Structure 1
Amino acid sequence: MSEKILVTGGAGFIGSNIVDELLNMGYSVTVIDDLSSGTMENISKSVKFYQCDVRDRQSLEKVFENERLEYVIHTAAQISVSKSVREPLYDAQVNIIGIINLLDLSVKYEIRKFVFSSSGGVMYGENPKIYPTPESVCPDPISPYGIAKLASEKYLKFYSKEFGLRFTSLRYGNVYGPRQNPDGEAGVIAIFAKKMLKNEPVKINGDGEYIRDYVYVKDVVNANLKSLNAGDGEVLNIGTGTGKSVNDVFRVLKERIGYKLDPIYGPPRPGDLRKSILDNSRAKEILKWEPMYDFERGISETVSYFEGRK
């Protein structure tokens, strides 16, 4: 009998990539998603699917009751930093109330392990002093999105201490790759790729020198799988340890696609950090994980995916 795993947000970008790999490895997978940003086309026919919002405690409980789950991988979230700045209440309802509902039910139904998608990209604030930034640097998120992720990590520690719930929290860098939504506000690589493939103008917010640690989605999937059996009680950065600017992203995509236009520079976005690079040495040590994809290879696979969808 294969082990049963719930993936929240499993119709979305990161969640659906995790689901596919879990199925490849023979796990029995249940997905919940409210389809606010995920799509049914991302979901394999082999999964049990529930359309459900993580804020809806009653509907969530039915899933736990019906499925007798053993693990939870929680990727469902309000993912836009700029939306969290505009709508902090909505962000907190999805990202904080949502995880509390899941943690309560995980304790009640004796889940063996809870793996959480946190964010290293927003966790360490405007000037952490150390780059790449290790987990030992005191968190100082400046956006409601980042504040909610930090609060979620604190709740995980509380449920672990109080009820013995095993967890691992993964602080991702800027994740990119196939299935990322090119029409949202988050995901600069997907947004640029779609526009370049249509030969439309590309707008860069600010001066384009905002630095991020871009980590390919398949590397993130691998970190989640390793966390099912390792890293209990740990909060771990999942990034490459190297930074790329938005101008770098533009140049690499331009070359891969053969795009001819120059970017248009606009005003900076509220809530955006200047620089974020993650030290991944603890994930290497504790999970035996490291990124397998360099930036050019990851970009090339991502572009191939969007080329196939033109």
Structure 2
Amino acid sequence: MKVLVTGGAGFIGSHVVRALLAEGHEVTVLDNLFTGSLDHIPLSEVHSWVMDIRGTRARREIEFSRFDAIVHLAGQTMVDMSLKDPYYDADENLMGTVNILEAARKSGVGRIVMASTAAVYGDVAQSRLPLVEETPLLPPSFYGFTKMAVEHYLSLYYRNYGLPYVVLRFANVYGERQGDKGEGGVISIFAKRIAKGQGITIFGDGEQTRDFIYAGDVAGGILAALKTENVNTEYNLATQTETSLNQLIHLFAEVAGRDIEPEYADARKGDIRRSMLANGKAKAGLGWEPKVSLKEGLANTYEYFARK
């Protein structure tokens, strides 16, 4: 299969590229390198385009290349950035995606696999956890809102132009090669500082929770989405496990083999208090399930940053 991975030099993209190559696919990476790095991918094994998803050049290259599928990971991924600069968030996530979709429909791409997020659900009542895909979407941030809007664009592109799609709503992704930005960035921030013997800060009381999922498991979900017959719908990629930041620190202490005493600061505006996603639909529709435990994934991540 001939596959384009937008954002392929980024954190999640680098895991996806490796998984695609391991299965023998022909891979092209499109990345503007704003947060990604060509050092993250095996350049000798892929075609690499350094360009922006919003540009005319990207659209023309995609139309000319006629891919079998596109894995669309590129975009703005930070809640706080979307609140500071809503225009930038919309330009990246909405207009950038529409540019990719236009190229896809005009060149007969067989499928789009789109990275969405748990942020589309918003801060919901505890009684609704774990969140299923049918949960009403009420994002509190512009980031969550633009991702929700992109999901609607995909549905309309299918209804109007017949472009098949799969939306994957990621829980909080973490792992090797992660930067400090994005939804799962707390783990990379902690891992780097702990590896250097530095202190860490928790924003809030530490009882806020997330559903942390290892990037290798997300890559496996994306590969499953490229193959499934159950398309034109949304799936959560999650562990269906709720972990507080205080619990996360305890696991990091076990991995690092030393006590860790965090400092606490005021909670950040726009952050969701609790989050856990149901993964039953992905198990049934994609034949996928997470394989890496949080402790094992933290160990992989910590050891990666300890070597840096």
Identify the TM-score tier after normalising by the shorter chain. Answer: over 0.9
Runs of 4+ displaced beyond 3 Å: 182-186
Q: What amino acid is the match of 1:22? A: L
Q: What's the counterpart of residue 234 of structure 1?
A: 233
Q: What's the counterpart of residue 73 of structure 2?
A: 75
Q: What's the counterpart of residue 177 of structure 2?
A: 179
Q: What's the counterpart of residue 147 of structure 1?
A: 145
Counterpart CA distance in 1 for 2:182 and 2:240 is 26
**Is the contact made by 1:172 and 1:238 (CA closer than 8 Å) also made in structure 2?**
yes
Q: What's the counterpart of residue 96 of structure 1?
A: 94
Q: Say if 1:186 and 1:226 are closer, same or farther in 2 by CA, change over 3 A.
A: closer
> Is 256-265 or 165-174 further displaced after alignment?
256-265
Counterpart CA distance in 2 for 1:110 and 1:184 is 32
The SS at the match of 1:228 is: helix
Q: What's the counterpart of residue 120 of structure 2?
A: 123
> Is 167-176 or 180-189 further displaced after alignment?
180-189
The SS at the match of 2:75 is: coil
How much has 1:152 moved relative to structure 2? 0.3
Counterpart CA distance in 1 for 2:210 and 2:75 is 20
Q: Say if 1:7 and 1:86 are closer, same or farther in 2 by CA, change over 3 A.
A: same
How much has 1:186 moved relative to structure 2? 5.3
Q: Say if 1:185 and 1:139 are closer, same or farther in 2 by CA, change over 3 A.
A: closer
Q: What's the counterpart of residue 191 of structure 1?
A: 189
Q: Say if 1:92 and 1:305 are closer, same or farther in 2 by CA, change over 3 A.
A: same
**Is the contact made by 1:220 and 1:238 (CA closer than 8 Å) also made in structure 2?**
yes
Q: What's the counterpart of residue 168 of structure 2?
A: 170
Q: What amino acid is the match of 1:271? A: G
1:41 to 39, 49, 52: 39
Counterpart CA distance in 1 for 2:197 and 2:222 is 36
How much has 1:62 moved relative to structure 2? 3.1
Q: Say if 1:143 and 1:75 are closer, same or farther in 2 by CA, change over 3 A.
A: same
TM-score normalised by structure 2 residue count: 0.96
Counterpart CA distance in 2 for 1:248 and 1:32 is 37
Counterpart CA distance in 2 for 1:20 and 1:241 is 25
Counterpart CA distance in 1 for 2:180 and 2:153 is 32
The SS at the match of 1:114 is: strand
TM-score normalised by structure 1 residue count: 0.95
Counterpart CA distance in 1 for 2:121 and 2:297 is 25
Q: Map 1:1-310; keep pairs closer than 5 Å.
A: 3-45=1-43, 46-56=45-55, 58-120=56-118, 122-128=119-125, 129-182=127-180, 187-230=185-228, 231-309=230-308
Q: What amino acid is the match of 2:186? A: V
CA-based RMSD of the aligned residues comes to 1.3
The SS at the match of 2:188 is: helix
Counterpart CA distance in 1 for 2:158 and 2:182 is 34
Gaps of 5+ in 2: none
Identity of aligned residues (%): 38
Higher helix share: 2
Q: What amino acid is the match of 2:121? A: Y
